[in-house]
Structure 1
Amino acid sequence: MKDSPIAPRAVLFDLGGVVLDIDPGRSLALWQPHSRLSAEELRAAFHADEPWCRHETGHLPPEGFLAHLREVLALDCDTDTVRAGFNALLVAEIEETVRLLDAIRAGVPRYAISNTNPVHVAEIERAFPRLLPRFDRVFVSHEIGHRKPDEAAFRHVLAAIGVAAPEALLFDDLLPNIEAARAIGMQAVQVRGPEDVRRGLADRGLLERS
């Protein structure tokens, strides 16, 4: 399905992999000395399983999720170490993309839509305090109760911002999310790096002219 030619009235950004650099290997490196699992077993065990998804939709509180991580990763450490490892995957702002976010034409609101959780949001606010305030509004899965690529996640955001699907432009790094957004009529660009963001904005006339 091709993008709609309608000029976007709102731009939606995923966080991890789009405006924030993510590296799960950093989490594994921090946890490995505390785990009874081999490096390969630890890597296989750290994935978005059912408790992870429940945590990201607000149905499992942080303490329950961190306890789950300790169990499934066979960790012999305290909760603070489990949390530190989980937060270690948040590396840094992707500076070029953040600059593009700031360069979007005046009058076009920018929103964040992210599959995330209260543990990571608290760390983002601590480690990157100027990032989330750049958005007109931040929609996180554990607050809205839906995760991408669930159609309900996109429809929730569209209803909240009062924009029709063809008038919304999504930047996301994961193809299933792109396909789900396009399936309901949204414009969507898969992001492999900042240049994809630049091109997607420029092609639609959304960048301020210097």
Structure 2
Amino acid sequence: MTLLSSTIDCIVFDLGRVLIDLDFELAFEYWATASGQELTEIRSRFALDDAYCAQERGEIEASDYFSHLRKTLGLDLSDEEFLFGWNSIFLEPVSGIEPLLNELKPLKPLHVFSNTNAAHQEFWSQRYADLLAPFQQIVCSHELGARKPGVEAFLQLAGQLSSSPGRMLFFDDLPENVDGARSAGLQAHCVRSAGEIRRILAADYLLPIDGLNP
């Protein structure tokens, strides 16, 4: 029988590029086509700026963010057109992640912690309902009021999951988020594939290896 280490109470996954592949270029391409503007100009003007972070903390609504994009990108698009492009960034689940989640579900509670916004959550929670079914809780930055990589965000996450930070295993694709998680006391790893997650589990957390092979 496969067992996961008693040093962890739960496993937390980032969403984008850990569970689901993303491509922001698809949003730029849609907005360029819809507006008749140059793709290169839109790409160069887009930034993960203060307004982007504010919507991910739930401080502004989607309509406010789209108004900001009209100004910064120089696009005359409706909220609906911005939203369609905004949601087009979501691709297929990361290869191999679905069977891994199904294998892990009986072993430890699984959770998601994502920097996201309300508009995106409404979209991906429906599109990927089957993929997300193994998770007990999905914690979103716009509901928490705090974003990764802030230490406070991870401490709030631990409180919401009723877990000690040191007993949480966290996987993210961005080094800065992993650093933030570690600063908050979590056991955190930077990963870019389901295979990497399997290898980390096999090396450090599986007792003994039976069903989950690296």
**Offset of 1:41 from its aligned partner?**
2.5
Superposition RMSD on alpha carbons, in Å?
2.0
Gaps of 5+ in 1: none
Q: Distance in 2 between matches of 1:59 and 1:71?
A: 19
**How far apart are the structure 1 equivalents of 2:38 and 2:208?**
48
Per-residue Cα deviation, 1:23-70 (whole angstroms, up to 9, x for no partner): 011111111124475333211222211111110101001111122222
Distance 2:185 2:156 in 1: 14
Asked whether the equivalents of residues 105 and 134 of structure 2 are also in contact (C-alpha less than 8 Å), the reply is no
Correspondence for 1:168: 168
C-alpha offsets along residues 97-137 of structure 1, whole Å, 9 cap, x if unaligned? 12211211624111100000011111102322223332110
Alpha-carbon shift at residue 12 of structure 1 (Å): 0.5
Percent identity between the aligned chains? 30
Determine the C-alpha separation between the residues in 1 that align with 2:197 and 2:136.
18
Which residue of structure 2 aligns with residue 197 of structure 1?
A: 197
State the one-letter code of the partner of 1:11: I
Q: How many residues align?
A: 206
Tell me the equivalent position of 1:186: 186
SS at match of 1:188: strand
Whether the 8 Å CA contact 2:34–2:81 is kept in 1: the answer is no
* 8 A Cα contact 2:202 2:209, kept in partner: no
Offset at residue 178 of structure 1 (A): 0.5
**Could you tell me how far apart the structure 1 residues matched to 2:148 and 2:81 are?**
29
Judge conservation of contact 2:12–2:169 (CA < 8 Å) in 1: yes
* Mapped pair 1:90 → 2:78: no
Q: In 1, Cα distance between the equivalents of 2:102 and 2:202?
A: 13
CA displacement at 1:208 relative to structure 2: 8.1
Gap regions ≥5 residues in structure 2: none
Q: TM-score with structure 1 length normalisation?
A: 0.90
CA distance, structure 1, for counterparts of residue 10 and residue 194 of structure 2:
19
Moved over 4 A (4+): none
> Which secondary structure state, in structure 2, belongs to the residue aligned with residue 100 of structure 1?
helix
